[in-house]
Structure 1
Amino acid sequence: MKTPSYFSGSARYGLVLALLAIFGLVGCATAPSIVGVKPIQVGSEAVEHHQKFAHWVAEFSTSARAAGMDEDTLHMAFDNVRFVPRVIELDRSQPEFTRTVADYLDNALSTQRMTRGQAKLRELRPVLEPIAVRYGVPAEILVAIWGMESNYGSFVGDIPTIDALATLGFEGRREAWARGQLLAALKILQHHDIDRDQMIGSWAGAMGQTQFLPSNYLAYAVDADGDGRRDIWGSVSDVMASTANFLASSGWQANQPWGQEVRLPPGFDYARAEDAVRQPTTQWTAEGVQSMDGRPLPVLADSSILLPASARGPAFLVGPNFRAILRYNNSSSYALAVSLLAQQLSGGPAVQAPWPRDLQLLSRSQLLALQSALNVRGFDTGTPDGMMGPATQRGVRQYQRSLGLPADGYPTLELLQRLQ
């Protein structure tokens, strides 16, 4: 195997020794282990995997050099880069997409998280208030995101960002995205905003106390404490201002609520409960949508109805600020958790309508079977892939209508069994 061109001197010598060890040429019966990988036998498929990973890193380094990365940065990033199998495992089991929204919210809105959040709000008011005024984002929203992302800074992740993104890029499911984020991470290193050893975060490459992707760091991170560094790992001021700047740049509307829980009228057309159907709250009111306490709905010019747990669960009226949170993390469960946590931190109510606790998410294989069965019946869901998207939701709605059921677009085990 040819040694990648960006290795030289002692780094190249170390790599050569490592490769010799892999092939058993320095008296080792097995190759050295990497993070999360057991020692591998000479000649095994794992050896070939390691070779391919090294080749991918070398190829990426060439493209990064062409994009302006200097040799010192490439050495810093890749001399000891490692493939992390745990990253791939976590990528395939994200809690926002593998747990029901009720289960997800039970954890997100725990008593401990609420209590700590209230304490942090009191403690950090002098820091938070000027930031809230400057960006128009309430302190409770900033603290809620902080609580969701790192439990108020107590855990920012333990995976080196370079390793995580190189692993995702090599694995290939989202290679183009991972390559873009990895190049952004190199720019952060080259700018000396953070050392490689301190650039740690989640399996997805998100960094700091509110988990910024590298590209978002470059675009939105703020040096609020004036020390010359945009430190989202250690400076609470920088963390909060950066998070507020991201939301304000993503369409956050000052002095507007994220939305609220609502009661839908009898005979409501559940097919209209989707993001594509947006209208003023005055129109929803005219159609019989009401707040839970009977007060007028908030004034939102561009609002939609959200049913996170089918027609059987709670309903929410959501507006532009909810969609801004979705740009932070494109999961309705996450955005709802942040919104409800902030609402309760500011003294607002918890969700009042009961969650359908017996409702189960379909596994990927079950959703794949559902999509295939719907296609066969003429309810087009696109190419079956086991992932829930707009096309699948439309197909489910059409099938529900054909059965005279509420067309909420929610895939259930009962629907799958009927199709089979």
Structure 2
Amino acid sequence: MKTPSHFPASGHWLAPVVLAIFAVAGCASVPSPPPKLTAPATAPANPTPTESGEATESQKFAQWVAEFSTFASAAGIDGATLHSAFDNVRLVPRVIQLDQSQPEFTRTVWSYLDNAVSPQRITKGKGKLLQLRPQRDALTERYGVPTEILVAIWGMESNYGGYVGDIPTIDALATLGFEGRREAWARGQLLAALKILQNGDIDRAQMIGSWAGAMGQTQFLPSNFLAYAVDADGDGRRDIWGSVPDVMASTANFLASSGWKAGQPWGLEVTLPPGFDHARADDAVRLPASAWANEGVQPMNRMPLPALTDSSILLPAGARGPAFLVGPNFRTILRYNNSTSYALAVGLLAQQAAGGAAVQASWPRDMPALARSQLLALQTALNASGFDSGTPDGVMGPATRDGIRRYQRSLGLPADGYPTLDLLQRLQ
């Protein structure tokens, strides 16, 4: 599961939505002093003048680790676990680079889906569903989550276990904590990771994942592991790195605990009636599916709409692209990774792996994605023209969408709130 607002989640990590930071309970007794830790492996013993800058950074990192170990000891982490975790802990510059990076260019939703829901991934997903057939009924009965949804998340997060990341989780989180930009979050996740080690679920060498601390075949943050991981194979360990039963049950437990509605689909592709007000395609406008049906919203196959509660119209590519009716379970997938493109990819991959249809309406592939700098220019121009879009930051949000809709209405265009190069050029 992805990192906060994505800490752009490596490649497609983590994207992750982040749940509340693991709460540290105070100890009733006075803890014994933490063990003296050896210096992290990055610190040279006798730095030369040319290495002095690096040595200073390494020494600061070692001091941060020592301070954190005192904190962790007071929170109940034993000396053996601290030695295992920190004796050879390393500062990972690549983690800092990825954390600080802000990609200039974004991807269109159809480009994202071309890769995320590729024919190869669909075919492999069908095979995985067959392999999981003996577990399917038990999983669905216990958690209420369809196995194809679990398989889709598995495929999205690690290509069905093919790649779970290559950075030691302790190193990644210690680096992020030392960096300081998200120190409170990183410290909470690092303490949770130490508890996982202390519980014996995994050893340090096998605890690997993304640069932002997400772990295992479905990319759990350590705090989510503690809260939701399940030992489904009965070996006494919750192993989301190597045990497929544990991976599936843990992912199902997270979704069920996050509000999954058993028996309801995530959503479906629909057609909109003539004259539909595209400004109502917004998560804030939630109606029973029956109310949308009364307005003329229909499934592509013209069958009755499913009995979705609290459903919304989603136009991920604006008025020119496909339309979807999404319900509470779509929003539950967003709790796994707060990205509309990700949640849509999970739903469509699950649908097609289970033998359902692909998206039938055409994507507006002639429309380029706006770069961050172009979106920043669009926001600035909207504000200058009296269409308030909030503080310009190059990131789409509700304020920007509302500003675009007001500008579109002033031009007599469908008010879908979708940012385009044409709108930018009109404003300029």
- Category of TM-score, reference length = shorter chain: 0.7 to 0.9
Q: Report if aligned partners of 1:7, 1:79 keep a CA contact under 8 Å in 2.
A: no
Tell me the equivalent position of 2:382: 374
| AA in 1 matched with 2:397 | G
1:31-67: CA deviation from partner (whole Å, max 9, x where unpaired): xxxxxxxxxx4244x4444344334333433333333
Query: Structure 1 262/15 Cα, relative in aligned 2: closer, same or farther at 3 Å?
Result: closer
Tell me the equivalent position of 1:313: 321
Helix, strand or coil for the counterpart of 2:51?
Answer: coil
State the Cα distance separating 1:7 from its structure 2 match.
Answer: 6.7
Q: Report if aligned partners of 1:128, 1:240 keep a CA contact under 8 Å in 2.
A: no
Selected match of 1:243 from 235, 239, 251: 251
State the Cα distance separating 1:397 from its structure 2 match.
Answer: 1.8
Q: Per chain length, whose mean CA-contact separation is higher, i.e. which structure has more relative contact order (CA < 8 Å, sep 6+)?
A: 2
Q: Does 1:86 align with 2:94?
A: yes
Tell me the equivalent position of 1:42: 51
Q: Report if aligned partners of 2:151, 2:350 keep a CA contact under 8 Å in 1.
A: yes
Tell me the equivalent position of 1:35: none
Q: Does 1:135 align with 2:150?
A: no
Q: Does 1:358 align with 2:383?
A: no
Q: Report if aligned partners of 1:136, 1:254 keep a CA contact under 8 Å in 2.
A: yes
1:127-157: CA deviation from partner (whole Å, max 9, x where unpaired): 2321122111111111111111111112111
Q: Report if aligned partners of 1:340, 1:350 keep a CA contact under 8 Å in 2.
A: yes
Q: Report if aligned partners of 2:321, 2:361 keep a CA contact under 8 Å in 1.
A: yes
State the Cα distance separating 1:380 from its structure 2 match.
Answer: 2.4
State the Cα distance separating 1:197 from its structure 2 match.
Answer: 0.8
Give distance in 1, aligned partners of 2:42 and 2:183: 29
State the Cα distance separating 1:170 from its structure 2 match.
Answer: 3.1
Query: Structure 1 377/171 Cα, relative in aligned 2: closer, same or farther at 3 Å?
Result: farther
State the Cα distance separating 1:204 from its structure 2 match.
Answer: 1.9
Q: Report if aligned partners of 2:40, 2:58 keep a CA contact under 8 Å in 1.
A: no
Q: Does 1:182 align with 2:182?
A: no
Selected match of 2:66 from 53, 58, 71: 58
Tell me the equivalent position of 2:337: 329
Q: What is the number of equivalent residue pairs in this alignment?
A: 395
State the Cα distance separating 1:386 from its structure 2 match.
Answer: 2.1
Which sits farther off after the overlay, 353-362 or 171-180?
Answer: 171-180
With normalisation by structure 2, the TM-score equals: 0.86
| AA in 2 matched with 1:266 | P
Q: Does 1:20 align with 2:45?
A: yes
With normalisation by structure 1, the TM-score equals: 0.88
Q: Report if aligned partners of 2:233, 2:245 keep a CA contact under 8 Å in 1.
A: yes
Query: Structure 1 99/210 Cα, relative in aligned 2: closer, same or farther at 3 Å?
Result: same
Selected match of 2:170 from 142, 149, 162: 162
In structure 1, runs of 5+ residues without a counterpart are 30-40
1:144-182: CA deviation from partner (whole Å, max 9, x where unpaired): 111111111121111111122223333344333222212
Which sits farther off after the overlay, 348-357 or 360-369?
Answer: 360-369
Give distance in 1, aligned partners of 2:179 and 2:93: 10
State the Cα distance separating 1:323 from its structure 2 match.
Answer: 0.9
State the Cα distance separating 1:101 from its structure 2 match.
Answer: 1.0
Tell me the equivalent position of 1:280: 288
Helix, strand or coil for the counterpart of 1:42?
Answer: helix
Q: Report if aligned partners of 2:40, 2:89 keep a CA contact under 8 Å in 1.
A: no
1:198-219: CA deviation from partner (whole Å, max 9, x where unpaired): 1001122111111111111111
| AA in 2 matched with 1:213 | L
In structure 2, runs of 5+ residues without a counterpart are 1-32
Which structure 2 residues correspond to residues 266-305 of structure 1 after superposition, within 5 A?
A: 266-305=274-313
